[in-house]
Chain A
Amino acid sequence: MINEKGFVAYHALGNVADDMMMDALLPEDGSSASTVHSAKRRTVYEFFSRGWGVAIICAVVAVAVMGGIIWAGNRPGGVTPPVGMTVSPETEHMIFPTETQEGESGTELSDTQDPERNAVVLHSLQRKYVPPKFLCYSTTLTEGEDGLSHGETADGLGFEGVMQQGETPALPTVTWAKDAELADFLDVAEGYIVKEFMVYDMDMQLVESGSSVMGYDSEESVKRFVIKKLPVGTWYMSLRVEHDGGEMHQCVYDYAFIAKVAETVTDTCTVRTDQDRYAWGVEDKYYHITLTSTVKGAILDIYGGSWELVNLDTGKHINTLCLTASAPTEGTFMVMPSSQEALAYYTLTWDFDWETTPPGRYRLVYTSVTMEANSFIQWQDGHPYYDFVIYDPKTGEPAPTAPAEGQIFVSVGGEKILPCRWAYGGEKWSSDGFRINWDGFVVPEAEFPLISTRIPCVNYAPDLTIHSSKDLTVTVYDENWNLCGTLRKDQLHELTFFGKNAYYLSFEAEERYENKKDYCQLFVYVQMK
């Protein structure tokens, strides 16, 4: 529940005097010079305010005055240094998008009252200008049996949309839902205008751009613009969006996402282990699992639902990941629905504490007070849950023992799932391909020998060998999941060109199965040594 009382109390505390407030800042936060002074001044004041200190101070002052007179008299221009000396605050380097990149077009402003004044700020405050450095979220565009194109976008910055075929049969449109609650979440409200869009191919060559946009269609409750229909394939898209939502929100945002145009509706679920959060044997002993799922459905009432983690071995309810009830007992939780129409996309992210979430069999259960609204969702085996197993890194068994350096195994989907094996430790990595299909069937490995990845040694010049029976797309992200670029599988030795310390590599391949086009995605974390 929202702690409204707490928020009110929080605001009531917000008017404390500056000196006290800044005095409570810890040093690493870069307290300002004035803070240091104010603290010092108060200390002196307090010292004076204590009666017995006055006598001592008077005596000291008397001696100092005498000494000062003598010293000043012997010193040319005897002036003491100013009391208010400047103390340079230590500030840590902060990445802040104060600079725009080359090639950026001008920003139109909507503030007619004082455009010049805001122009300066908006230029400075412009958020990350993405192309050709794209964010990592992906978009799937599919053509369903109804002949329409469906899709979704998610850029992780509070902007998402739905792609579907519009009134012009040959042209898909990008449509944003107007729903108030969704808009509230997405920070996309009336007043947003898409100023420009660009479409790139995988080689970052611009294939389509335009600025002919669109307006707000009050009758259809959508905003839309038209782009040329894209062929099947993977495309990078970026949008520049201007928001005229008031004085505080007159900003221009740049969004980018990957659009995958497929021929059929594809349901996929990818579970990836976020390796940089692994910390075996160190202080926190946390590891981190992100479950990303795309489910075919209509309205996903994610707002009213909750996720609950149950240890199937003990029956213990580990925590309640609930959007509207109490906070989870550990970790963080994030849900990102992209839309209330067509495909729904969400990401669950939370931290498992080894001590409270030991190896074992777990079930992530979704419940909702309005389950009928979720009946569209094609759950595994028709049940609204995901099963997964956390294996012990030492024994490889789903039984709890103390964590240790070494391998970690994670599988998803219970017995039906192909083994997903992650090995790490800095020197060698290996991973077997896996594939998850939420349509309720899993293709045996023999029929889908998708990826066999072996990275025997990762050094300054990584020697990566990829074994695959299929054509692969290797997408490279940095540790923050910012897209660095793409490589062919025979180009992985060029990984160092991106200049990062660690990467996530996404190996993707497509496969046709029972007239459906499926793709597998495997994430491997590579640490440069």
Chain B
Amino acid sequence: MTDQEIISLYFARDEQAIAETSRVYGAMCMHTAMRVLNSRPDAEECVSDTYLKAWNSIPPEKPRALGAFLCRITRNLAITRYRALHRYKRNRDLELSLSELAECIPAVEEDNTLRYLIDSFLRGLEDTDRRLFLGRYFHSYTVRRMAKAYGMTENAVSLRLYKTREKLRVYLEKEGYSV
């Protein structure tokens, strides 16, 4: 079933929309939540909340890419949940990636200019660097996981991430954002 067909089910308020969403994107959402929460029960609940939010959002929303739409919801829900739970269930790797991210992106909330700059910067990166950066800091993959996926050593991945972070930091500083 295509994205548009699934979205049509949402618009028709057909319960099957949830089942189809789960079938097509369930694994993706589960992986996304697991990488942040590192706990299957929490991740399952997060994915359930994702579907609920999708159900409540579509309509009126009509996402062009349902997968991206769901992934973004899951990620946000997962990180929110993690913040609430993290005193009890720590995810060391996520903490590390957050601290790395804080080295290059200033802690400025709700700044559309900053988001635009980040988007532009990433689009200008070489493909692999962009995928590594987003894999690590958006999708929360471990360095080991990405090294295996891209056929690189962990050191190489870490080094490229470091260089990208530095580039981003310098880029944002030139635009007036200091970390």
Contacts and interface: CB of A to CB of B under 8 A. Distances in A.
10 contacts: A2-B83, A9-B102, A10-B98, A12-B114, A14-B72, A19-B65, A20-B134, A29-B28, A324-B87, A334-B89
B48 interface: yes
B48 A127 contact: yes
Interface stretch (A92-100, A142-150, A210-218, A271-279): A92-100
A5 interface: yes
B2 A86 contact: yes
A91 B67 contact: no
A289 interface: no
A32 B28 contact: yes
Contacts of A479: none
A16 interface: yes
Interface in B24-81: 24-28, 30-32, 38, 41, 44-45, 47-49, 51-53, 55-56, 64-69, 71-72, 75-76, 79
Interface stretch (A117-125, A166-174, A469-477, A510-518): A117-125
B115 interface: yes
Interface of A: 2-35, 38, 86, 89, 91-92, 94, 96-98, 117, 120-121, 123-125, 127, 156-157, 184-185, 247-248, 251, 303, 323-324, 327-328, 330-336
Interface residues of B, number: 81
A120 B107 contact: no
B121 to A, nearest CB: 10
Contacts of A25: 28, 71, 135, 139
Given A16-B118, A31-B28, A124-B18, A26 B67 contact: no
A269 to B, nearest CB: 20
A80 to B, nearest CB: 20
A96 B47 contact: yes
Given A18-B64, A23-B131, A333-B90, A10 B101 contact: yes
Interface string B116-146: 0011001100000011111101110100011
B156 interface: no
A340 to B, nearest CB: 15
B71 A7 contact: no
A89 B145 contact: no
Contacts of A18: 64-65, 68-69
Contacts of A86: 2
B171 to A, nearest CB: 14
A34 B139 CA distance: 18
Given A20-B123, A98-B18, A324-B87, A3 B95 contact: yes
Contacts of A331: 92
Contacts of A21: 68, 71-72, 134, 138-139
Given A32-B28, A94-B30, A328-B92, A24 B119 contact: no
A186 to B, nearest CB: 10
B67 A332 contact: no
A66 B65 CA distance: 36
B71 A248 contact: no
Interface string B81-96: 0011111111110010
A10 B137 contact: yes
Nearest to B64: A18
B98 A3 contact: yes
Contact of A38 (B65, B123, B130): B65
B154 interface: no
B139 A24 contact: yes
Most buried by B among A5, A9, A251, A332: A9
B39 to A, nearest CB: 8
B119 to A, nearest CB: 5
Contacts of A248: 49, 52-53, 56
A3 B28 contact: no
Contact of A121 (B23, B27, B51, B87): B51
Contact of A12 (B65, B111, B139): B111
Contacts of A125: 18, 48, 51-52
Given A13-B138, A123-B15, 8 more contacts: A15-B115, A16-B118, A33-B2, A33-B3, A94-B27, A332-B91, A333-B89, A334-B88
Contact of B18 (A26, A30, A89, A121): A121
Contact of A5 (B66, B88, B102): B102
A91 B26 contact: yes
Contact of A22 (B23, B71, B79): B71
B45 A127 contact: yes
B130 A6 contact: no
B65 A13 contact: no
B20 to A, nearest CB: 11
B28 A26 contact: no
A33 B138 CA distance: 20
Closest 7 CB pairs of A and B: A6-B98, A32-B67, A24-B134, A18-B68, A9-B105, A5-B102, A5-B107
A328 B107 CA distance: 25
Contacts of B68: 18-19, 21-22, 34-35
A479 B100 CA distance: 35
A328 B90 contact: yes
Nearest to A480: B40
Nearest to B32: A29
A452 to B, nearest CB: 35
Contacts of A323: 87-88
A4 B86 CA distance: 12
Nearest to A9: B105
A371 B142 CA distance: 38
A5 B100 CA distance: 10
